[in-house]
Structure 1
Amino acid sequence: MPAARVEYIAPWWVVWLHSVPHLGLRLQPVDSTFRPRDESYQESLLFLGLVAAICLGLNLIFLAAYLVCACCCRQNDAVQTKRRNSCCVTWTAVVAGLICCAAVGVGFYGNSETNDGVYQLIYSLDNANSTFSGIDELVSGTTQRMKVDLEQHLARLSEIFAARGDYLQTLKFIQQMAGSILVQMAGVPAWREVTMQLTELADQTGYVEYYRWLSYLLLFVLDLVICLLTCLGLAKRSRCLLASMLCCGMLALLLSWTSLAADAAAAVVRVTPAVPRAPPHPRPSGPNPGARRTGTRAHARTVLVFAGRMLHPH
């Protein structure tokens, strides 16, 4: 029974993000087709990263401006002004908290989707490794059976048809064709080294993905804690809490920008092939080697079928 074919289906948010118009650093439209080796596509990724960094910077600037206003305001304000400011601060804290929590939730979802995609890649590598191992086992097993079992059967048939010269000639031809098939099977490339490298690649990918997923999880948890404590500081108008959260926000900004730079570099880096190509099949000399090889195989199959019918006439 053939193995089920597993195809990659892009999630809806991936399709949506790739359909969003991409802009370069000069605000010119760029083709949104995934081309990580193209310089214009790299500029569009950098532009998106700059937009995210500007949004985070504006958020910190607003917090700093509010902290300065809270520190410089007079204590003898009117009661109505205090109530109006308290209401404005409360609604600002609620809106900011909802936006920040929604952004962190999107980050959690993206981290989980990335983790699922990487493990699908590892699963595909394991399937390819299993296929290559099966090819090696099939070729080695078939070669061994042809060398041992077929020789025994041909020797037995030579004893049975010792008195029939035409049958002996046919058996000799079958033996020659079997030797030709063995030579062709010896030219099939061995995938043992490739399977070892695929196994190593899958192990390294799983190891790196685990720590990447864990680091992003901790980063999003830190962002969520900073957002909640900042909203609490805005609601209670705590200067000490807002100052500490401003410092933590700067740290979160640096970590987010560093992670974004690392992801962009990993997406567009030029990677050398880790899996070598299989050696080419040996080609027989002649004007048309493909036709000669095809004709030899067809003739060998015809002779084998004739021998089988000769052994089992009914």
Structure 2
Amino acid sequence: MGVSSGDEAYSTPYIAQLLHSLPHLNISLHYVNSSFNPYNQIYLESLGILGSIPAALLILTLLLLLIYLLTRCCDRKPRPARSIAALKIILACVSVLCCAAVGLGLYGNDDLHNGFSQLIQEARQVNNVVSKIRNQTELMERQLRVQASQQLTTIRDIFDEPVSNMTLYKEAKAYLQRATDNNTLAANAAADIRHPLTLDLGAVIMKGERFELVRWPFTMAVLSVLLILCVILLVGIARHNRCALIAFSVCGLLAIIASYVMASVYIASGVALGDLCMAPDKFIEDQGSTELSKEILRYYTICEKARANPFTQRLREAKTAIENVRSNLQKLRGPATHLFPKKGLDTKFSSLKNEINSADTLVTTITALVDCRTFHTNFLRGAKALCNVGLIGLSMMLVSAIMAGFLLTILVWVDSHTWIYIRKKKDYHDNNETDPFLPAPQANPAIAVRTLQRSQGSSYPPDTPPPSYSSALMYNRVHASAPPLHDAQIPLYSFF
């Protein structure tokens, strides 16, 4: 890319070269042209294929997690109490790494926002300069074609009256005709300068601002939610909270989907931006609708000293024509006032001279405006902001999304394996109140009933269900009224 020398030279960033080197394949896996061309369907197809790689990883990840969770759901074996300290340490470390990955995404999002905002600002300045050139040339054309022409027409009408000195009249009439022709030539030059300046970035700038107004806070919100999920997991680990770990298992799946979807968008956008940053001047040049427009765009994006300004010839013609008009009017003024002394020509010549001087001033202003250095400075600042700052930020967001998706997958897997070993608080409370030396009555009330029956000498069979409350009272009264047995009445076989 040819640019002006010195510190203002644009150099392609390494990250742009790296992204540009990624294979651009179509649906039939054939290489396609990697030059940035958003209007080419084949090029957009290659970007879509690159963006589908994280989507394929997402599908594979969800499939593996689904298989793992199904094995857990079908596993009905009781879980013995065991230490989960190692699992909690793994969850804590991976959560911290995931927070760092999300933080990298937040930093990259801020860089991308700053680079894109500066690009919009530079584009607005270029658009303002182009609009000013159009306005100045339009004003110059109006002064020459309308106001100055009206003054010349008024003088021409005066020359239609009869005169006594035809020789002087013909000489003055020739100066008037030359002034009229030069005035028309200068007005045409102003129109020729304005004609190729059809570039209007207002609509593009407005769309870019609206896009960034939505993209930046939305990305911040999504990344903040990922951070909150990691914090919830850390709190659940620290407090040994089963509900927090279960909630992360559910929300973590959504976070994995969001991370890989963002990675798909970022890799396609990053490759496209890398292709653009390889030759931004070439893309801008291709936006010209005609060969003259392309030549003008090439001049301003490259700004080489050896390349002539495409407006120089028209500006020189306008400058020369205005000077000729001024010279013709100066030569015309004497004979005209002599031929028509009572027509007030001095006032008309003074007014016409003011119009010509204003047009001459506008030519000087337009000459300064069309200089390539101002445009080229804005172009370089915008290109560096987008490719050196914005592209690096987008690359960090891509790395962040891929890392977050991978780490969140590990977290969901380990978390789903951890919370099943954490019992509810109610279970701990019941076990603490149970006497270890007695059978648990709530767990097996039949054992307690049989124990009571045996202790009272019940004649019920062992498998008899427990009696009702009234029958139990009657049974106790009958046994209480019966006389106690003496030792002699005890059968002998009871001792054996």
Please indicate, yes or no, whether the TM-score normalized by the shorter chain is above 0.5.
yes
Please state if 1:172 is matched with 2:173.
no
Instruction: Give CA-to-partner distance per residue, 1:291-313, whole Å, 9 cap, x none.
Output: xxx9999777656545656859x
Equivalent of 2:187 in 182, 185, 189: 182
Deviation at 1:218, TM superposition (A): 1.0
Deviation at 1:276, TM superposition (A): 10
Q: Is the 8 A contact 2:55 2:261 kept in 1?
A: no
Instruction: Map 1:45-84 onto structure 2 (within 5 A).
Output: 45-51=51-57, 53=58, 57=62, 73-75=79-81, 77=82, 82=83
Deviation at 1:108, TM superposition (A): 0.6
Equivalent of 2:100 in 86, 89, 102: 102
Instruction: Give CA-to-partner distance per residue, 1:23-76, whole Å, 9 cap, x none.
Output: 8799x997995646524443233224544x37965996799699889x96312x
Deviation at 1:222, TM superposition (A): 0.8
Question: What do you get for the CA RMSD once the two structures are aligned?
Answer: 5.1
Bigger Rg, which one? 2
Q: Which amino acid letter does the alignment assign opposite residue 53 of structure 2?
A: F
Gaps of 5+ in 1: 1-5, 269-274, 282-293
Counterparts of 1:32 and 1:110, CA distance in 2: 29
Query: How many residues are aligned here?
Result: 272
Secondary structure in 1 matching 2:205? helix
Deviation at 1:186, TM superposition (A): 4.2
Please state if 1:125 is matched with 2:126.
no
Give the 3 Å change call, closer, same or farther, for CA 297–204 of structure 1 in structure 2.
Answer: closer
Counterparts of 2:66 and 2:26, CA distance in 1: 23
Equivalent of 2:168 in 149, 163, 172: 163
Counterparts of 2:69 and 2:178, CA distance in 1: 91
Greater RCO, CA 8 A, separation 6+: 2
Counterparts of 1:296 and 1:25, CA distance in 2: 47
Q: Is the 8 A contact 1:60 1:246 kept in 2?
A: no
Q: Which amino acid letter does the alignment assign opposite residue 125 of structure 1?
A: A
Q: Which amino acid letter does the alignment assign opposite residue 110 of structure 1?
A: G
Counterparts of 1:302 and 1:136, CA distance in 2: 21
Instruction: Give CA-to-partner distance per residue, 1:239-276, whole Å, 9 cap, x none.
Output: 322211011111222333444556678787xxxxxx99
Q: Is the 8 A contact 2:189 2:318 kept in 1?
A: no
Q: Which amino acid letter does the alignment assign opposite residue 137 of structure 1?
A: N
Q: Is the 8 A contact 1:125 1:202 kept in 2?
A: yes
Identity of aligned residues (%): 18
Please state if 1:91 is matched with 2:96.
no
Q: Is the 8 A contact 1:18 1:32 kept in 2?
A: no
Deviation at 1:142, TM superposition (A): 0.5
Q: Which amino acid letter does the alignment assign opposite residue 124 of structure 1?
A: E
1:112 corresponds to: 110
Q: Which amino acid letter does the alignment assign opposite residue 141 of structure 1?
A: L
Give the 3 Å change call, closer, same or farther, for CA 8–240 of structure 1 in structure 2.
Answer: farther
Give the 3 Å change call, closer, same or farther, for CA 44–297 of structure 1 in structure 2.
Answer: closer
For normalisation by structure 1, the TM-score amounts to 0.62
Give the 3 Å change call, closer, same or farther, for CA 74–245 of structure 1 in structure 2.
Answer: same
Secondary structure in 2 matching 1:163? helix
Q: Is the 8 A contact 2:51 2:268 kept in 1?
A: no
Q: Which amino acid letter does the alignment assign opposite residue 103 of structure 1?
A: A
Equivalent of 1:218 in 210, 221, 226: 221
1:43 corresponds to: 49
Q: Is the 8 A contact 2:236 2:242 kept in 1?
A: yes
Instruction: Map 1:1-314 onto structure 2 (within 5 A).
Output: 14-15=15-16, 18=19, 21=22, 35=36, 37=40, 38=43, 39-51=45-57, 53=58, 57=62, 73-75=79-81, 77=82, 82=83, 85-86=84-85, 88-146=86-144, 147-149=146-148, 152=151, 163=168, 165-166=170-171, 168-186=173-191, 188-189=194-195, 195=200, 198-234=201-237, 237-260=240-263, 304-305=322-323, 308=326, 311=330
Q: Which amino acid letter does the alignment assign opposite residue 252 of structure 1?
A: A
